[in-house]
Amino acid sequence: MKDIIYINRKTGQKETEIVKGPKTMNYVYNKRLGQIGLRLLFKRKVFSMYGGWVMNQNKSTKKIDEFLKVNEMDMSQFVIPNGGYKNFNDFFYRKLQPNKRPIGKGLVSPADGKVVAFKTIGCCMDFYVKDCTFNLNTFLKDKHLAKKYEGGSMMVIRLAPADYHRFHFPADGIPSETKKIKGYYYSVSPIALKQNMRIFLENKREYSTLKTKEFGDILLCDVGATLTGSIIQTYTPNQSVSKGQEKGHFAFGGSTVVVLFEKGKVTIDKDLLENTQKGYETTLEMGETIGSSVKLK
């Protein structure tokens, strides 16, 4: 397997991602027997539900120290409850301390993670290796909504297990109710995604539309993955929200946030587009500026 190289946005330098369990992931996604196991078990809801149940048990706190050590995590930005976390999931969707993440100008990232950004949705063919057709009708299960975002821009923010797993609103606006789409629980690891972008079209996902004055209607889609048994929405639909306000969180597992913009409404930051064109993801933190309104250009 080739190393997963990404761009650290703060330094501009290339770095190598430490992919946990690469042998297992390669076996599951690249070997015939592994793919049989994937179809029969790993993508199924029951497998992820069991994983979520395990991580909700009190004794799962024993896994936290090892997780911190292996992933070399800095916890200085996060809230640590008095008496510690009650289980691994409580730690997994930990909250940020107030004012630890400044909210930037313009459009901001809704999550921590590694992003690929496309000026038009069809450009994803330049990044994903094969089977890269991104079909909006299939993704949204709504032909009228798919038509609305046809020719628009797209960002895919991939959250690794060690990342902060709460997601937020990228702009001021009014969010719609959440629509849920049933699906499987394929991994969203870089190994899996590079092999097949159809994961986004087949995994469990739920989306809402954020109506904004500056950026049009932004569609925010939260995508589940292997061992991500739950996507929890914490916002109140149809009430005004502020940029950077929490929208929800993922329970244990890797996850993804897909953001769609209407055609001609948003200009995504140049460095994110250029890195994607070169085949690299770019690191982002929630609240970091990712674009601007076309009207401001």
Which of 48, 109, 208, 255 is an active site residue? 255
pLDDT exceeds cutoff 70 at 44? no
> Is 165 marked active-site?
no
What is the pLDDT at residue 188? 56
CA angle at 61 for the pair 58 and 64, rounded to the nearest 5°: 160
Q: Which residue has the higher pLDDT, 285 or 62?
A: 285
Confirm whether 168 is a catalytic residue: yes
pLDDT band at residue 40 under the 50/70/90 scheme: very low
User: Taking 50 as the threshold, does the pLDDT of residue 45 lie above it?
Assistant: no
Percent of the chain at pLDDT > 90 equals 54
Q: Are 112 and 285 in contact (CB under 8 A)?
A: yes
d(CA 240, CA 238): 7
Separation in Å, CA 76 to CA 91, 97, 103, 209: 13, 9, 18, 33
Q: What is the pLDDT of residue 53?
A: 47
Q: Which amino acid is at 108?
A: V
pLDDT, one tens digit per residue, over 96-144 is 999 899 999 999 999 999 999 999 987 765 665 445 567 888 889 999 9
What pLDDT is stored for residue 132 in this prediction? 56
Instruction: Choose between 38 and 133: higher pLDDT.
Output: 133
Which one from 112, 163, 222, 269 is the annotated catalytic residue? Answer: 112
Q: What local confidence, expressed as pLDDT, does residue 229 receive?
A: 53
Top-confidence residue, 2 or 62: 62
Which pLDDT does position 19 carry in this prediction?
64
27: its two tokens: 């076996």
Q: Which pLDDT value is given to residue 193? A: 53
Annotated catalytic residue within 168, 187, 230, 269: 168
More confident residue, 204 or 8: 8
How many percent of the chain have pLDDT more than 70? Answer: 74
Distance separating alpha carbons of residues 273 and 276, to the nearest angstrom: 5
pLDDT at 199: 67
Name the superfamily (CATH) of residues 5-296. Glucose Permease (Domain IIA) (2.70.70.10)
User: Binning pLDDT at 50, 70 and 90, where does residue 48 land?
Assistant: very low
- Per-residue model confidence (pLDDT) at position 228: 46
pLDDT at 175: 98
Give the Cα-Cα-Cα angle 26, 30, 32 (nearest 5 degrees). 125
Cβ atoms 208, 179 nearer than 8 A: yes
pLDDT of residue 149: 96
Instruction: Flag whether pLDDT at 260 surpasses 90.
Output: yes
* 117 touches 272 (CB < 8 A): yes
pLDDT at 224 (0 to 100): 80
Q: What was the pLDDT predicted at 84?
A: 93
109 included as an active-site residue: no
- Range scoring the smallest mean pLDDT among 24-33, 89-98, 169-178: 24-33
pLDDT in the model for residue 226: 55
pLDDT tens-place string over residues 215-247: 999 999 998 865 445 789 999 999 999 999 999
pLDDT of residue 114: 94
